[in-house]
Amino acid sequence: MIRIENLLKKYGDTVATDIGALNIDKGEIWGLVGNNGAGKTTLLRLMLDLLKPDRGQIFSDSVPVSKSEHWKEYTGSFIDNNFLIEFLTPKEYFEFIGKIYGMKKDELYEKLSSFSHFFSISQTEAGKYIRKLSSGFKQKTGIVGALLSTPEVLILDEPYNFLDPSSQIILNKILLSSFQNSTKTIIISSHNLKHISDICTRIALMDKGKIIKDVPNTSETMADIEDYFNNQTGS
């Protein structure tokens, strides 16, 4: 579904992303882990054509993302609060997304109701502009917005940030029930190794812009990845 060829992105002399080849297939939940500055967010932004590479191509369903808009019709994503329209209320924001995807209002609200256990907001909070919501509710707004169209490809950067433990668990259940054992694809970056190991079918470790491990999710491979981070701290 997603293919990378000869990808390079630099900021001055600093290499942010350097990947010779990578394939992420339909039906995979691909987890990306690494320390701060490893290049995870840069890679996801390149996948979404928010950044232009210095070299190479990223393909979605065999078409370069830089040369087509079609992939946007089946891709949902949330990277950070810049994806939100903060002068709208959550209701207005979801209705805006619904219009983009040609959803009828009853279809939209039926879809929203399926996320009520994750995005439960009081009438008072619902009337607030997104910019006035807590960080946790902003995060939930962005995630629900990414899920509304039932995308074939879902790209999330640090989705567990700002979520309380209960919401993190519910999010994992939503992702698993919606995407696992299907032809859909999740690409998810996180510092939270436990949640990554709970839901991902495959895990990649990134360091200094390079993918240094890309392995099926097993107890042995997760132990190797944990050892890598333990060694980084000198423990």
Based on the fold, state whether residues 209 and 226 are members of the same structural domain.
Answer: yes
- Tell me whether residue 172 is in a domain: no
Residue 163 in domain = no
Quick one: 71 and 25 in the same domain? Answer: yes
Residue 126 in this model has a pLDDT that exceeds 80: no
Considering the domain architecture, whether residues 146 and 89 belong to the same structural domain is answered as yes
pLDDT at residue 56, as a whole number = 98
What is the DSSP pairing of strand 29-33 with strand 185-189?
A: parallel
8 A C-beta contact, residue 17 and residue 39: yes
Q: How far apart are CA 98 and CA 195, in angstroms?
A: 29
Same domain, 109 and 45: no
Residue 181 binned pLDDT confidence (cut-offs 50, 70, 90): low
The CB-based long-range contact list for 70-75 (8 Å cut-off, 24+ gap) reads 71/153, 74/151, 74/152, 74/153, 75/48, 75/151, 75/152, 75/153, 75/154, 75/155
Cβ atoms of 84 and 141 within 8 Å: the answer is: yes
Domain-located, residue 169: no
CATH number at residue 203: 3.40.50.300
Q: Given this model, what pLDDT does residue 139 score?
A: 96
The pTM score is 0.95
Which amino acid appears at position 230 of this protein?
Answer: N
Residue 161 lies in a domain: no
